[in-house]
Amino acid sequence: MEKTRRRILDIVFRSEIEQNDTASGGDAGDRHQTKTGTNGKSNLRESAALATIPLVLVLGNSMLIPILPQMQRELNISQFQSSLTISLFSIAAGIFIPILGYLSDRFSRKAIIIPSLIVYGGAGILAGFGAIWESYWVVISARALQGLGAAGTSPIAMALIGDLYKGGEESRTLGLIEASNGFGKVVSPIIGSLLALLIWYAAFFAFPVFCGLSLLAVIFLIKEPKRKEEPKKLNRYLRTIGRIMKQKGRWLITSFFAGSLGLFILFGALFYLSQILEEKPYQIDGVIKGLVLAIPLMGLVATSYTTGAVIKKNGVLMRWLMNIGLVLMTVSLALAIFLYDHIYVLIGLLTMSSIGTGLLLPCLNTMITGSVSRSERGMITSLYSSLRFFGVAFGPPLFSRMMDISDELVFISVSVLSFITLGLVFFLIKPDRRLSEAG
């Protein structure tokens, strides 16, 4: 009896779609019928359309990483200045994500995603012209504007998935989103390197093409469920968020930190690898460098998708996978302290760390998305995504500063951070054996 009453994490997978079906009985009921499998092709198209959003988002940073050394030479800027083209994009996104998350809760998800994709693509054109004019300041200003557009893409898509799906289908689709994010990271260094064969800034002009394709998919393939409840006013909304953080803040804040750290290490390590590959004795650049950068990310892609597919509502499995993932990250990064000058071994260790990240992130996504009702989901997932962006933002410049001191310092720092996060996740995130689902 005592065991059945015990509740470690108050994570509830709610389905407002199902509630609305009962209340309205009409179109919503038809929609629920579609979701439960009578129209698998429609469901597949919708999932594919959703997957294009994080794919476009990740191109915003990963596609530029291979060209940063060439940008330094062409614009006569320092390594730190080139890293700011990644950081300013991510900082701007991190600042605006919570604002757009609230607006998506108040209005609709697609009303935010669609104009955000337009801003994202348009700012890419501006950055390209800044490169043609050899104006570093135009480039980084356009990148900040792109960050504003990015704020309304993948984070809002996570909330939309929570609106559309429930239970195992939700975790599977969130795993697909994380895998799409990872797939984008795999192919984008290769795409960036191929585009650089034309001219080094061609990647900037590729953004509107990818954004346009995603825009069409969102408009025509995603049918957002209608809202039955009135949106909350800002002061009441903020009080609700405050209550959620008071009740669940211990594990939510730990989850936010863990997700941010995973991407801080990922993008910092990619920046580190991109820089050393062009130096002696390796002197690897162009498409070959893009392929090398893709190797660690392939581990992330495969692991993220598999994790999302198998976890469903199994809280025990989620806890095991999160802790195993952080152990892999800690051990591989600690070994890199001593083996960083063996390039093949280093690539293997960074791949192991990426696999650990692939075990961690889908579990965090599922728990965070399922922790609140639909009316607050946009803000909570946006706070999480905001901190993830800050992790991306500070990875390259901090790795750059540490590289100036010593390579050992790079891996000592990130292995210690991974170990601390492992302790926090082990002691503070303890989901129930089976996460409950309410109607």
DSSP 333-390: HHHHHHHTTSHHHHHHHHHHHHHHHHHHHHHHHHHHHTTS-HHHHHHHHHHHHHHHHH
- Prior bond of 281 cis (ω within 30°): yes
Q: How confident is the model at residue 19, as a pLDDT?
A: 38
Q: How confident is the model at residue 185, as a pLDDT?
A: 74
SS3 state of residue 314: strand
Q: Which two tokens stand for residue 59?
A: 């191109």
Q: How many Cβ atoms are within 10 Å of 87's Cβ, its own excluded?
A: 25
Q: How confident is the model at residue 117, as a pLDDT?
A: 94
* pLDDT by position in tens, the chain (length 439): 444 444 445 444 443 333 333 333 334 333 433 344 445 566 788 888 888 888 888 888 788 888 888 899 999 999 889 888 988 998 998 899 888 888 888 888 899 999 999 999 999 999 999 999 999 999 999 999 999 998 888 778 878 887 888 767 777 787 777 777 777 777 888 898 899 889 999 999 999 999 999 999 999 988 888 776 666 677 877 787 788 888 888 899 999 999 999 999 998 998 899 889 988 888 888 888 888 888 988 888 889 888 888 887 788 899 999 999 999 999 999 999 999 999 999 999 999 999 999 999 989 988 887 777 766 676 787 788 888 888 888 888 899 899 999 999 999 999 999 999 999 999 999 877 766 543 3
Instruction: Identify the burial level of 6 via C-beta atoms within 10 angstroms of its C-beta, where 0-12 means exposed, 13-18 middle and 19 or more buried.
Output: exposed
Q: How confident is the model at residue 229, as a pLDDT?
A: 66
Contact 181, 274 (CB under 8 A): no
Contacts of 258 (CB under 8 A, 6+ apart): 322, 326, 360, 364, 421, 424, 425
Contact 366, 318 (CB under 8 A): yes
Contact 232, 375 (CB under 8 A): yes
Q: Which two tokens stand for residue 41?
A: 């092709």
Chain-centre distance of CA 23, in angstroms?
35
pTM of the model: 0.72
Q: How confident is the model at residue 439, as a pLDDT?
A: 34
Contacts of 117 (CB under 8 A, 6+ apart): 53, 56, 149, 152, 153, 211, 214, 215, 218
SS3 state of residue 434: strand
Q: How confident is the model at residue 260, as a pLDDT?
A: 94
CA separation for the pair 259, 341 (Å, rounded): 28
Fold of 2-438: Growth Hormone; Chain: A; (1.20.1250)
Q: How many Cβ atoms are within 10 Å of 146's Cβ, its own excluded?
A: 28
Q: Which two tokens stand for residue 245?
A: 């953080």
CA separation for the pair 72, 67 (Å, rounded): 9
Query: 297 vs 34, 107, 161, 206, 301, CA distance in Å?
Result: 34, 36, 24, 21, 6
Contact 100, 152 (CB under 8 A): yes
Query: 1 vs 4, 36, 121, 172, CA distance in Å?
Result: 5, 34, 57, 32
Q: Which residue do the tokens 């009303």 mark?
A: 111
Q: How confident is the model at residue 40, as a pLDDT?
A: 58
Side chain identity, residue 125: I
Q: How confident is the model at residue 21, as a pLDDT?
A: 38
CA separation for the pair 184, 116 (Å, rounded): 19
Side chain identity, residue 393: A
Element holding 264 (H helix, E strand)? helix 234-277
Q: How confident is the model at residue 369, as a pLDDT?
A: 76
What 8-state DSSP symbol labels residue 276? Answer: H
